[in-house]
Amino acid sequence: MPDTPTKSAAASLFTRPLTGKVALVTGSTSGIGLGIARAFAMAGADVALNARKVSPETDKLVAEIKAQAGTKVVCVAADMSKPDQVKASIPEAEKHLGKVDIIVNNAGIQHVEPIETFPDEDWESVIGINLSSAFYLTKAALPGMKKRKWGRIINISSAHGLVASAYKSAYVAAKHGLVGLTKVTALETAEEGITANAICPGYVWTPLVQKQIPEQAKAHNMSEEEVVKKVLLSNQPNKKFATVEEMGALAVFLCSDGGASITGTAIPVDGGWVAH
């Protein structure tokens, strides 16, 4: 007798649930993207990392994850600010790994400045890398997913996809835009075996955040400890950074059989920030 969906969903949590799947994670040589790529490989998926350029550092990461997980791992070079390169990353990953079942739109940058002085080129870059790249990659990945009747699309939005902070106009607009794109993608693919969801992290302990601590301490004339409590984690009620491993675990779950009916959502992972 075939497994009921519930039985197979439960069973998949205790095996390598992504065995046989292929994932492409953008901006995945550090931070959240790398955490998700590692988690996917450990869950049995073949993984295409992405960086602007292939380098000895990316070669080292590829070898390390491959050795740890025992799955196929490659690095696809593509600049997420360039639509043609974004689109080409799908056939490039397919060339090495045969297909792309899962995409994670993770690459992102930030610029913090009031609207009146916010440089036009920074607006364009933040929107291009954080939002438009997700549209172009989704567009390129959907035909293959629809053909195979299976796909998972995860957009790394932010708590700033659900609420705003001053001086982050482009970032907040891009992250809210990603939540909208996620909903539209979910509706257009609902009957195709494809899901689309946004993960909305609060502060996550990544090099990007770690780098800000001494800079902010200097700017605010505070100790690094005060910066963490009073500046960075002031909005995060649990007063703790989330980890890249938590992001990886959620992404694996969304791609497993257990996540099959979760689509069109924006899931906060923020210690209670957007519950305010």
Q: How far apart are CA 196 and CA 138, in angstroms?
A: 10
Give the DSSP letter of residue 202. Answer: S
> Phi then psi for 226, rounded to 5 degrees?
-65, -40
| Closer of 106 and 138 to ligand NAD (Cβ) | 106
Query: Residues of 141-178 as b/e, b for ≥16 C-beta within 10 angstroms?
Result: bbebbeeeebbbbbbbbbbbbbbeeeebbbbbbbbbbb
| Closer of 35 and 258 to ligand NAD (Cβ) | 35
| Closer of 171 and 258 to ligand NAD (Cβ) | 171
CB of 145 to ligand NAD, least distance (A): 22
CB of 169 to ligand NAD, least distance (A): 14
| Closer of 130 and 138 to ligand NAD (Cβ) | 130
Asked about 171 being catalytic, the answer comes back as yes
CB of 158 to ligand NAD, least distance (A): 4
CB of 26 to ligand NAD, least distance (A): 6
Q: How far apart are CA 45 and CA 193, in angstroms?
A: 18
Torsion of CA 275, 176, 108, 212, to 10 degrees: -40
Q: Which residues form the interface with ligand NAD (CB under 6 A)?
A: 27, 29-33, 52, 79-81, 106-109, 129-130, 156, 158, 201, 203-204, 206-209
Q: How far apart are CA 124 and CA 235, in angstroms?
A: 28
The DSSP-derived string for 57-73 is HHHHHHHHHHHHH-S-E
Known catalytic residues are 171
